[in-house]
A and B are shown apart, each in its own frame.
Chain A
Amino acid sequence: MNIFAFEFKRHLRMTLLFTLFLAVFSSGMLFFYMFIKEDLDMMMVFFDRFPAPMKAMMSSDISIVTTPLGLFSFIYSFISIIPAIQAIYLGLSIHGSPFSEKTSEFIFTKPASRARHFFMKSTSGVFLIVLETIVFVTVLISALFLMGESSGVAFTLVWIALSFLLTQLVFLAIGTLLAYVFMGMKSYLSVSLGVAAFFFAVSAFAVSGNADKLRYFTPFQYHRFDTLLMNGHMDSNLFFFTILIMTILLGISYFRFASVEVYSR
């Protein structure tokens, strides 16, 4: 067992539990479409009566709810904070545990460079997010297939998967950075919750106000499902911006980690 396998195994249960929640919710939302299919006009009227900021948070075009994936993305925009919390928590836990659990003396005196530690830990986090994405998309495909609504959505699902993956990876990188900025903290869940809520609030301001530039400060706005569904593709500028943000976050985290001194017991 190496660092990768150790961290992967250690966080697998929590990731699978969360993935199960996401799978149940996602399939539930898709099957919900079957029940309201006949009354979509009424649903649109219902959604249209939502306050403007709330509507803006859900989608810029309410007509997307006429498809299963559209309805799903419409509602998902409100629960997208939950995967974000999980990804931040994962980053915090993988990278912060040697300091919070005081195992740093044990692990950092083993024959592995700091770079290897960082790379292996980060890779285990990425693999867990990838696993989560695969299950998430598989559930979406399966549900759509069972509903008989799977034709012509393959390409869209690829974009949704990539969008979900990238957003989760940004939050993972944010968690990683937080682990090295606030070393030794133990309250991962409350910190994850607070940080995700902050970005969610920024996201609400970004879509409901005139501060369009704000969307660059919140990962919730980088790759929205509704935008993907409407445009049929991912915004390439935001794709590269996401990669840049992740590189910066991980770069700062690594340099912080490389210079960490382990002296407190």
Chain B
Amino acid sequence: MEKIIEVKHLSKYYGKSRGVIDLSFSVEKGEIFGFIGPNGAGKSTTIRTLLALIQPTSGTATIFGKDCITHAPTIAEKVGYLPGEVYYYDKMRVRELLLYSASFYGKNCVPNIDRLCKRLDLDQNKRIETLSLGNKKKVGIVQGLIHEPELIILDEPTTGLDPLMQQTFFDILKEENEKGATVLFSSHILSEVQKICSRVAIIREGRLVSIEDIAALKQKQVLGVSFEYEGEEAPDLADLPGVSEFTVDHNLCKLVFQGDVNVLVSTLANINLVSLHVEEPSLESIFMHYYSAKKDHV
């Protein structure tokens, strides 16, 4: 598979402060790649290096096989970028700004401007200074996509968007992806990554912790199970493989399960249940579980 982004041993220091350390990962053509980690982990530093906004201290980063620093203008022709916080020229109208943005790409972007503005319900005649944060974010989305980029880089893209607009945004991203665009999606909101990404890189304190398939990450899921049973004798599930934190209080049992759920279900089938609650944890809790485990090993 063709690698669209390839980062090799990338390090960036701001003086003595750590940005990222020895980061290596690649993003393949056509995938939606998540980039998650807590605030200050180094996500934006990595993205800014890819966009040639900052210079790496050591290591290399390539996009479309070209060095992202030395070939920045060529690469930028095929890249769309949406930053976390958007700042534009306050006195300009939305359409003026979008046309200015389009003027860099040497092609007619007007149909895309109109299509995306309509889709996002964005008034092109308003001045930037009169827009709410959410609407400014919409301007950011449109200006990042008007030239049909082959690579879309998103840094905390949903900040300021309401849930409905977030869904529209995800739909647009999926459509762009189906048309062939590769997406690098940076976020600290893991449910976003869960919704849309196929693989995810986990970054902490400037270092890459792991790269996982979302599906594989979900396989590591931890279930919180509680059930009420009928009968005098309490079932003993403490020794069942994958069970931990097993407690019995009156007729209510609680346990934490990690492993093949079929084993748990077949065991529970032999118990006379009154009620059963299984909590499917969010990716966030999986991440925290995984993350803390990794942290313990470091």
Interface residues of A (CB under 8 A from B): 1-2, 6, 10, 101-106, 108-113, 116, 259, 261-263, 265
Contact = CB atoms under 8 A, between A and B. Distances in A.
Interface string B133-147: 000000000010000
A100 B94 CA distance: 20
Contact of A261 (B53, B77, B143): B53
A106 B143 contact: yes
Contacts of A103: 87-89
Given A102-B87, A261-B53, A262-B54, A109 B79 contact: yes
B18 to A, nearest CB: 13
B105 interface: yes
Interface stretch (B96-104, B109-117, B165-173, B177-185): B96-104
Interface stretch (B68-76, B203-211, B250-258): B68-76
Contacts of A1: 99-100, 103
Contact of A111 (B45, B74, B83, B99): B74
Contact of A109 (B51, B87, B88): B51
**Interface size range on B against A:** 20 to 34
B48 interface: yes
Nearest to B91: A10
Given A6-B100, A262-B48, A263-B45, A106 B87 contact: yes
Contact of B54 (A2, A10, A263): A263
A113 B105 CA distance: 13
B55 interface: yes
A106 B88 CA distance: 7
A101 B104 CA distance: 20
Contacts of A10: 89
B72 to A, nearest CB: 7
Contacts of B85: 265
Contact of B73 (A113, A261, A262, A265): A113
A112 B54 contact: no
Contacts of B48: 262-263
Given A101-B89, A116-B73, A110 B104 contact: yes
A112 B104 contact: yes
B87 A113 contact: no
15 contacts: A10-B89, A102-B87, A103-B87, A103-B88, A103-B89, A105-B87, A109-B53, A113-B73, A116-B73, A259-B55, A261-B54, A263-B48, A263-B53, A265-B84, A265-B85
Residue among A105, A112, A113, A265 with the highest chain B CB neighbour number at 10 A: A105
10 tightest A-B contacts by CB? A102-B87, A111-B76, A262-B53, A110-B104, A111-B77, A261-B54, A113-B73, A109-B81, A1-B103, A111-B73
B53 A112 contact: no
A109 B63 CA distance: 14
A5 to B, nearest CB: 8
A124 to B, nearest CB: 14
A101 B77 contact: no
B55 A261 contact: yes
Residue among B73, B84, B105 with the highest chain A CB neighbour number at 10 A: B73
Given A1-B100, A105-B53, A263 B77 contact: no
A109 B76 contact: yes
B104 A111 contact: yes
A251 B56 CA distance: 24
B14 A263 contact: yes
A95 to B, nearest CB: 15
A259 B54 CA distance: 9
A80 to B, nearest CB: 31
A1 B105 CA distance: 11
B72 A113 contact: yes
A17 to B, nearest CB: 16
Interface string B178-203: 00000000000000000000000000
A106 B90 CA distance: 13
Contacts of B101: 106, 110
B73 to A, nearest CB: 5
